[in-house]
């Protein structure tokens, strides 16, 4: 089986630039146009050994025609990036292992980010996100032209079970968009070989205590202490497993910066993929747009991500009839619980665009409001939504600083520093 180009990017020390190097070019890149056109460049996935792997997408001569490209509007956004990723990770691990707070230096930059106040831009990002679930040959792939071939087997074979997605880039490689696949689960109309690992990551990142929802459940980790008590340090340690998607995402981002050293990198994703995009955006100071993602603030805290002076470069887009984004898909009779998932978190990082589909459309809170296709077909497609003032999008607002979750639980100190996640079989 032949691929045009195959890059196996494993994180050996010799494979990447120094990790204490600045996370942005020393020479400012040339200004970006107000509208960008991007095309598919790479498929990304994880091998059985948890290595990041890429397959280049075949590109016919007509690649840059209007019908073959995604068009995105940009706006200048001020962001804070860690001056050194090595210092960032060192501070994170020091906080995790020693409960020691270490200050790090942040660089304040004005970068071109997606214009999240523009409906058409959000629609294009949502389509990229939707496509991360399927191959270009799938009928569910949103048509962006005839440049895609069917020969993309690497990392997308039927038995592949890892982290998946696509890399889109502008013609001059000045901007790259990393699209990350979210949860594939039967109860939201999905499925496939990634279900097991998706579920483990969901239950570790977004449940109050290892998805311990009842005597019949197999918890995601062994941190439950009886009653409504949980060993918080134990949960934090469980999240450090290298086979989980956050550390894999960090490696993936490093691969992208190695392949495109001067590019402005954006992140997007849906559901679990959206939360991972937001967590990576917080880690690297990269613009991120997440669709229908569970609350990611608790996960950021448990991962001990150092807090930047501002995280306004992260935007969450969801509707309030989606129980996963709202953190209510967790009761004993909920679709999520029946499927073995516990989505307890609802506090998000950064800004939010929340469609009031319950109040303005009369939708009931239901898992059927969660798929990315709902956002695309019913909320972002031209003419499908209008606010009272005639605008096409709800306002961009901050998360409530007093947002609370898991208030019924009592969290204690770690008693087991060698805990590992309980990988479901």
Higher pLDDT, 214 or 65: 214
**Poorest-pLDDT segment among 16-25, 112-121, 322-331:** 16-25
* Distance (Å, whole) CA 330 – CA 55: 38
Confidence tier at 130 by pLDDT (50, 70, 90): very high
pLDDT higher than 50, residue 65? no
- Per-residue pLDDT, averaged over 409-417, amounts to 70
| Per-residue confidence (pLDDT) for residue 366, from 0 to 100 | 94
**Poorest-pLDDT segment among 141-155, 178-192, 314-328:** 141-155
What average pLDDT is seen over the chain?
80
Cβ pair 283, 314 in contact under 8 A: no
pTM, two decimal places: 0.82
| Per-residue confidence (pLDDT) for residue 340, from 0 to 100 | 86
State yes or no: is 216 an active-site residue: no
| Per-residue confidence (pLDDT) for residue 239, from 0 to 100 | 94
- Length of the chain in residues, anyone? 425
| Per-residue confidence (pLDDT) for residue 207, from 0 to 100 | 94
- Give Cβ neighbours of residue 194 (< 8 Å, ≥ 6 apart): 160, 161, 162, 164, 181, 184
| Per-residue confidence (pLDDT) for residue 24, from 0 to 100 | 43
What percent of the chain has a predicted confidence (pLDDT) above 70?
A: 73
Which is the catalytic residue, given 84, 130, 174, 271? Answer: 271
Confidence tier at 42 by pLDDT (50, 70, 90): low
What percent of the chain has a predicted confidence (pLDDT) above 90?
A: 48
Most distant pair of Cα atoms in the chain: their distance: 63
Higher pLDDT, 50 or 281: 281
| Per-residue confidence (pLDDT) for residue 51, from 0 to 100 | 54
Q: In the chain, where are the structural domains located?
A: 6-412
- Per-residue pLDDT, averaged over 259-267, amounts to 91
Confidence tier at 135 by pLDDT (50, 70, 90): confident
pLDDT higher than 60, residue 422? no
């Amino acid at each position: 089986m032949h691929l045009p180009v195959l890059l196996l990017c494993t994180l050996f020390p010799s494979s990447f630039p120094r990790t204490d190097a600045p996370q942005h070019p020393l020479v400012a890149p040339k200004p970006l146009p107000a509208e960008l056109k991007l095309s598919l460049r790479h498929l990304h996935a994880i091998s059985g050994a948890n290595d990041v792997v890429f397959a280049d997408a075949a590109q016919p001569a007509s690649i840059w025609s209007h019908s073959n490209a995604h068009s995105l509007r940009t706006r200048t956004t001020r962001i804070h990036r860690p001056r050194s990723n090595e210092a960032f990770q060192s501070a994170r691990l020091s906080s995790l292992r020693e409960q020691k707070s270490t200050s790090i230096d942040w660089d304040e930059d004005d970068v071109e980010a997606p214009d999240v106040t523009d409906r058409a831009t959000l629609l294009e990002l949502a389509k990229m996100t939707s496509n991360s679930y399927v191959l270009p040959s799938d009928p569910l792939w949103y048509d962006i032209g005839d440049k895609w071939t069917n020969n993309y087997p690497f990392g997308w074979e039927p038995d592949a079970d890892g982290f998946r997605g696509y890399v889109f880039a502008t013609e001059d490689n000045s901007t790259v968009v990393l699209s990350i696949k979210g949860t594939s689960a039967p109860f939201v109309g999905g499925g496939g070989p990634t279900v097991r690992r998706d579920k483990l990551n969901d239950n570790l990142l977004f449940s109050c205590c290892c998805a311990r929802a009842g005597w019949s459940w197999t918890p995601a980790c062994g941190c439950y202490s009886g009653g409504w008590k949980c060993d918080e340090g134990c949960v934090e340690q469980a999240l450090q497993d290298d086979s989980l998607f956050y550390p894999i995402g960090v490696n993936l981002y490093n691969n992208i910066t190695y392949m495109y050293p001067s590019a402005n990198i954006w992140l997007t994703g849906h559901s679990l993929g959206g939360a991972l995009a937001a967590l990576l955006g917080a880690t690297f100071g990269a613009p991120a747009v997440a669709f229908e993602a569970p609350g990611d603030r608790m996960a950021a805290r448990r991962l001990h991500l150092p807090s930047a002076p501002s995280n306004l470069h992260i935007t969450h887009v969801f509707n309030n009839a989606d129980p996963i984004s709202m953190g209510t898909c967790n009761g004993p009779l909920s679709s999520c619980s029946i499927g073995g998932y516990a989505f307890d978190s609802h506090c998000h990082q950064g800004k939010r665009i929340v469609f009031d589909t319950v109040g303005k459309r009369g939708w009931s809170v239901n898992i059927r409001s969660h798929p990315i296709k709902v956002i695309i077909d019913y909320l972002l497609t031209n003419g499908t939504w209008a606010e009272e003032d005639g605008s096409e999008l709800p306002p961009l607002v901050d998360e409530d600083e007093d947002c609370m979750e898991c208030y019924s639980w009592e969290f204690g100190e770690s008693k087991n520093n060698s805990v590992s996640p309980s990988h479901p079989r």
